[in-house]
Amino acid sequence: VNNRRVRGGLRTQLTLAIAAVAALAVVASFLALYSSTSARLRDQIDAQLNTQAAEWRLFSQGADNSNQAELAQAARRFIVGQRYHAESLIIVFQMNRGGTVSNDPELVRREEARERDSGEATGLLRAPAGLSTQTVAEAGQMRVLTIPLQRGGQQVGTLRVANPLTPVEQAQSSLRRSFLLVGLLAVGVAVAVGLALASVIAAPLRRMARVAAAVEGGNLRERTGPVRARGELRLLADAMDHMLDRLEQTFRRQRDFVSDASHELRTPLTVLRAQVELLDRELDLQRRHEATATLLARIDELDRLVGDLLTLATAEAGQLVVPQEIGLRDFFEDLRRDMPLFGDREFALVPIDGTLHADPDRLTQVLRNLIRNAVTHTKPGDRVLVTATARGELLEIIVSDSGPGIPAEKLEDVFERFHRLDRGRSRASGGSGLGLAIARAITEAHGGRLYAESPPGSGAVFHLELPGYERSVFSPVISD
Ligand SMILES: Nc1ncnc2c1ncn2[C@@H]1O[C@H](COP(=O)(O)OP(=O)(O)OP(=O)(O)O)[C@@H](O)[C@H]1O
Ligand SMILES: [Mg+2]
């Protein structure tokens, strides 16, 4: 992953693709321009030739030149009258009985000689009637218009008007030259842009690959960091960093949890061991019996701790809750009946009607944890209040007590695993510090929220918010 250039990588592919598209665009526009320019220039030349022929027709109208000598005379006069035309234009009158009249007799003589020597059926003086392209001695490619000269229903000669194709050829070759230049430039620019773009895209991808390799190697601290690219690439890089943050956090929590759990298990195990050793030396049957009872209580405590750890592990795996419709009237009735069993407190419950989409056993577990905590932190005769209210589809259950409350800076800490505000006392009351962590895990598995408040001068207030509430269809509509 570390080598700078990956074979067949993004850089090569992107660059090749952009260069190919640029080259294609240049070639296509070259072909279009080349053919249209050539056609237009050729049309212009042909139009000139046709004009020339028309001028001759106008000039010779009405004249009786069935006589070849008179025709030659007229041709000469015509040519003299055409002096203003471009020098490159060639006019040739070919008499059937031999002899030619031309504005360039020199060229016609050379052409006659060439055509006679070569024996080909082409050339300026052998061009077929109408428009054609001929190779002419020294002048190169020429466009030739050939018109038979008729007199009294008989052909007495041939008029040939010719124009060199050099302007077309020049235009074509200059087009070729400039397009070659433009094409090379375009492909060069395309390659440069492709390389730049590819490195903008490939750099963060390579960095991500490096980070992924580091993660695979067990290093969770590497990050892609800010990338130069925008859009999807930045989203991807950010998402990856975010994911690594979460992973690192989860791994750290997992590690802490395992070490905390081992620590928590070690203390009761040490105590158990000491007590078993004592029991081994105890001879008095009565005291032996008492010691066994304490041992069993410790084992129950351990059993509960292991159960709690298992619940949290299940929550971590996301298999904690199996929701169903709970009828809240019966649910709160059961709770009201159970509350006195927690201790000698002044319990009060404000229930609500309707249904809730939740796991009833887990919800009971949360409420029991909260009520047990309230009881633990109050004295006999103190108040413990459970109130249910609803806002739209949100059910809120508030558990408050008249105990000492929780210091403001500890309001979040109490939800941490194994967190106890007063270690000594809670140890004595058998608390492991997992109750609120489990309650929050269950609440979050329901998509809800659990948080604590502690208004000055009163006890702790726990808010449990759960979605999935529905007002009972049968609940009476209150009207005044
Ligand atoms: N109603 C309350 N009033 C005052 N402090 C509270 C109250 N509820 C919880 N706490 C504090 O928060 C800590 C964490 O509570 P949590 O229920 O998680 O653990 P625990 O009750 O000590 O042990 P466990 O519930 O696992 O038996 C408690 O040790 C206590 O210090
Ligand atoms: Mg508790």
DSSP letters along 63-131, please?
A: ----SHHHHHHHHHHHHHHTTTS-TT-EEEEEETTS-EEES-HHHHHHHHHHHHHH--S-SGGGPPSEE
* Ligand 1 contacts CB of residue 458 (under 6 A): no
Residue 2 is predicted with a pLDDT of 46
User: Pick from 423, 407, 419: which is nearest to 455 by CA?
Assistant: 407
Instruction: Summarize the confidence of residues 427-449 as an average pLDDT.
Output: 85
- Closest residue (by CA) to atom 5 of ligand 1? 406
Local confidence band at 225 (pLDDT 50, 70, 90 cut-offs)? confident
Position 421, amino acid: L
Among the ranges 137-141, 365-369, 417-421, 425-429, which has the highest mean pLDDT value? 365-369
Instruction: Summarize the confidence of residues 80-99 as an average pLDDT.
Output: 82
Query: How many whole angstroms separate alpha carbon 459 and alpha carbon 379?
Result: 12
Beta pairing partners, 145: 131, 161
Least confident piece of the model among 8-12, 34-38, 397-401? 8-12
pLDDT score of 186 more than 70? yes
Pocket test for ligand 1, best of 310, 373, 421 (most atoms within 8 A of CB): 373
Contact present, 459 and 405 (Cβ < 8 Å): yes
Query: How many whole angstroms separate alpha carbon 439 and alpha carbon 126?
Result: 109
Q: Which residue has the tokens 């060199």?
A: 164
Other CB atoms closer than 10 Å to residue 299's CB: what's the count? 12
* Ligand 1 contacts CB of residue 104 (under 6 A): no
Kind of pairing, strands 154-164 and 140-151? antiparallel
* Ligand 1 contacts CB of residue 264 (under 6 A): no
* Ligand 1 contacts CB of residue 441 (under 6 A): no
* Ligand 1 contacts CB of residue 411 (under 6 A): no
Local confidence band at 1 (pLDDT 50, 70, 90 cut-offs)? very low
Position 166, amino acid: T
* Ligand 1 contacts CB of residue 421 (under 6 A): yes
- Closest residue (by CA) to atom 25 of ligand 1? 435
- 3-state DSSP helix/strand/coil % of the chain, to nearest 5: 55, 15, 25
Residue 10 is predicted with a pLDDT of 78
Instruction: Summarize the confidence of residues 198-227 as an average pLDDT.
Output: 87
Query: How many whole angstroms separate alpha carbon 269 and alpha carbon 432?
Result: 14
How far, CA to CA in Å, does 462 sit from each of 74, 79, 94, 366, 440? 123, 116, 119, 11, 11
Instruction: Summarize the confidence of residues 382-407 as an average pLDDT.
Output: 96
* Ligand 1 contacts CB of residue 187 (under 6 A): no
Query: How many whole angstroms separate alpha carbon 26 and alpha carbon 236?
Result: 36
Q: Ligand 1: distance of its center to the CA of 154 in Å?
A: 129
User: Pick from 352, 364, 454: which is nearest to 400 by CA?
Assistant: 454
Q: Ligand 1: distance of its center to the CA of 50 in Å?
A: 110
User: Pick from 34, 52, 49: which is nearest to 169 by CA?
Assistant: 34
Beta pairing partners, 209: none
Q: What is the pTM of this model?
A: 0.56
Q: Ligand 1: distance of its center to the CA of 305 in Å?
A: 14
| Three-state DSSP state, 190 | helix
Contact present, 299 and 269 (Cβ < 8 Å): no
* Ligand 1 contacts CB of residue 211 (under 6 A): no
Tell me which ligand sits closest to the C-alpha of residue 430.
1
Q: Ligand 2: distance of its center to the CA of 297 in Å?
A: 18
Q: Which residue has the tokens 């008729």?
A: 150
pLDDT score of 425 more than 60? no
pLDDT score of 6 more than 80? no
Tell me which ligand sits closest to the C-alpha of residue 428.
1
Residue 131 is predicted with a pLDDT of 93
Residues whose CB is less than 8 angstroms from the CB of residue 78 and which lie 6 or more positions away in sequence, other chains included: 55, 56, 59, 60, 91
Least confident piece of the model among 67-76, 268-277, 367-376, 401-410? 67-76
Tell me what the pLDDT averaged over the chain comes to: 88
Residue 4 is predicted with a pLDDT of 52
Q: Ligand 1: distance of its center to the CA of 454 in Å?
A: 13
Contact present, 321 and 358 (Cβ < 8 Å): yes
Q: Ligand 1: distance of its center to the CA of 456 in Å?
A: 18
Local confidence band at 72 (pLDDT 50, 70, 90 cut-offs)? confident
Contact present, 437 and 384 (Cβ < 8 Å): no
Atom of ligand 1 nearest to the CA of 308: 26
Q: Ligand 2: distance of its center to the CA of 436 in Å?
A: 6
pLDDT score of 24 more than 50? yes
Q: What are the tens digits of pLDDT across the range 289-300?
A: 998 998 998 898
Local confidence band at 277 (pLDDT 50, 70, 90 cut-offs)? very high
Query: How many whole angstroms separate alpha carbon 56 and alpha carbon 71?
Result: 12
